[in-house]
């Protein structure tokens, strides 16, 4: 492998990794607050990509407008899912909410099959992302730079919200102790809704960029990236935003670099993440940056 191919693999890993990281953040934020694996998150990701597609084909919106509109709409859908399917189960055993989440995930996926049809659709890609740039031997699509940069920007915005605003303070308080937060006057349900909104918006952004990178839309397109991003969140330490970012980027590198160095393993690519998951759960169940909590009797 020469340097030029290595750089290309490196940039591809970074692109894929930042897409995983954006989805993983949504999983980790919801889990940090509600201890719920939001299975529907991968369908939120899929909806983000589809809404851009429909915005462009049906309403002839320019691409950036369609993207912003889709992110806002999807954030709303995320909040709605929480309101309808999770909020009534706040006091129920944790697994009930998880089953509800699995139900919502299947529901959204099949609604997408009914309304968008199962045939794969081609996505429009803006020309300025498509023309390759040449640096010596290295051929780079502007897209491979655009994705990590936009992701970085979104993550910085998120860090600002979580660590420098009142709502962010509320989120951090709830993730420590939901009941005490109630007593201290945090509007718990509003903050949770906001968390779902932000997580869904990031997943939508990731879905949109995913559709640019792998330009084919399918109602089930969210399932595999969603699972993998969840694994990335567990790997980084679920509940920790920094952990989700590290886990996502690490997973991107593991997938692309393993196939690059051992092409024989290409067929097993989708299994790497699950092997990684089982490995990390056995060695350090709290993930890289997670904190251990003891069962209280």
Partner 1 sequence: MNRSTTILLNLVLVGCLGLFLWWAEGNLDGYKIQILNLIAVNIILALSLNLIYGFTGMFSLGHAGFMAIGAYVCSILIMTPEQKVTLFILQEALPWVQNSHAPFLVAVIAGGAVAALFGLVIGAPLLRLGDDYLGIATLGFAEIVRVIANNIPRVTNGALGFKGIPDHANLWWNYGWCLLTLYFVIRILNSNTGNVFKAIRDDETAAKAMGIDVFRIKLLSFTFGAFFAGVGGALLASLLTTIDPKMFLFTLTFNVLMIVVTGGLGSITGSILAGTGITVMLEWLRFVENPVTIGDWTLPGIPGMRMVVFSLVLILVILFRREGIMGMREIHWGTVARFMKGGKA
- CB distance 8 to 138 below 8 Å: yes
Nearer to partner 1, 5 or 117 (CB): 117
- CB distance 212 to 125 below 8 Å: yes
Nearer to partner 1, 94 or 176 (CB): 94
Nearer to partner 1, 62 or 88 (CB): 88
The CB-of-97 to partner 1 minimum distance in angstroms stands at: 8
The CB-of-112 to partner 1 minimum distance in angstroms stands at: 8
The CB-of-259 to partner 1 minimum distance in angstroms stands at: 13
Point out which residues bind partner 1 (CB under 8 A): 35, 37, 85, 88-89, 92, 94-96, 98-100, 102-107, 109-114, 117-118, 219, 223, 227, 230-231, 234, 267-268, 270-271, 273-275, 277-278, 281-282, 285, 295, 297
Nearer to partner 1, 67 or 277 (CB): 277
- CB distance 203 to 41 below 8 Å: yes
Nearer to partner 1, 134 or 297 (CB): 297
- CB distance 124 to 63 below 8 Å: yes
The CB-of-254 to partner 1 minimum distance in angstroms stands at: 15
Distance, CA of 179 to chain centre: 28
Nearer to partner 1, 212 or 244 (CB): 244
Count of other CB atoms within 10 angstroms of residue 168: 19
DSSP per-residue string spanning 60-71: ---HHHHHHHHH
The CB-of-84 to partner 1 minimum distance in angstroms stands at: 8
The CB-of-214 to partner 1 minimum distance in angstroms stands at: 19
Nearer to partner 1, 88 or 132 (CB): 88
Residue-wise burial string across 97-113, b where 16 or more C-beta atoms lie within 10 A, e elsewhere? bbebbeebbeebbeebe
The CB-of-188 to partner 1 minimum distance in angstroms stands at: 20
- CB distance 248 to 232 below 8 Å: yes
The CB-of-277 to partner 1 minimum distance in angstroms stands at: 5
Nearer to partner 1, 108 or 155 (CB): 108
Sequence-distant (6+) residues with CB within 8 A of 49 are 123, 204, 207, 208, 210, 211, 217, 221
The C-alpha angle 295, 93, 194, rounded to 5 degrees, equals: 95
Per-residue CA distances from 179 to 28, 123, 253 (Å): 20, 46, 39
* Cα(292)–Cα(24) distance, integer angstroms: 20
């Amino acid at each position: 492998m020469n340097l030029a191919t290595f750089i290309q693999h490196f940039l591809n890993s970074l692109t894929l990794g930042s897409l995983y990281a954006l989805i993983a953040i949504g999983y980790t934020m919801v889990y940090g607050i509600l201890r719920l694996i939001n299975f529907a998150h991968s369908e939120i990701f899929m909806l983000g990509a589809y809404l851009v597609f429909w915005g462009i084909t049906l309403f002839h919106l320019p691409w950036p407008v369609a993207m912003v509109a889709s992110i806002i709409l999807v954030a709303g859908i995320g909040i709605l899912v929480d309101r309808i399917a999770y909020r009534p189960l706040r006091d129920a055993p944790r697994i009930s909410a998880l089953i509800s989440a699995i139900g919502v995930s299947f529901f959204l996926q099949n609604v997408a099959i009914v309304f968008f049809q199962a045939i794969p659709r081609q996505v429009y890609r803006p020309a300025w992302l498509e023309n390759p740039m040449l640096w010596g031997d290295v051929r780079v699509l502007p897209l491979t730079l655009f994705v990590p940069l936009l992701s970085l920007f979104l993550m910085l915005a998120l860090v600002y919200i979580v660590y420098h605003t009142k709502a962010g303070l509320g989120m951090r308080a709830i993730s420590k102790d939901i009941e005490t937060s109630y007593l201290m006057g945090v509007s718990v349900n509003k903050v949770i809704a906001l968390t779902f909104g932000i997580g869904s918006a990031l997943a939508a952004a990731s879905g949109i960029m995913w559709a640019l990178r792998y330009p084919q839309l399918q109602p089930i397109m969210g399932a595999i990236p969603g699972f993998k991003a969840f694994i990335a969140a567990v790997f980084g330490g679920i509940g920790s935003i920094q952990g989700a970012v590290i886990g996502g980027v690490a997973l991107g590198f593991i997938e692309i670099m393993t196939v690059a160095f051992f092409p024989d393993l290409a067929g097993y690519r989708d299994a790497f993440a699950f092997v990684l998951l089982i490995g990390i759960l056995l060695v350090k169940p709290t993930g890289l940056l997670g904190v251990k909590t003891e069962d209280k009797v």
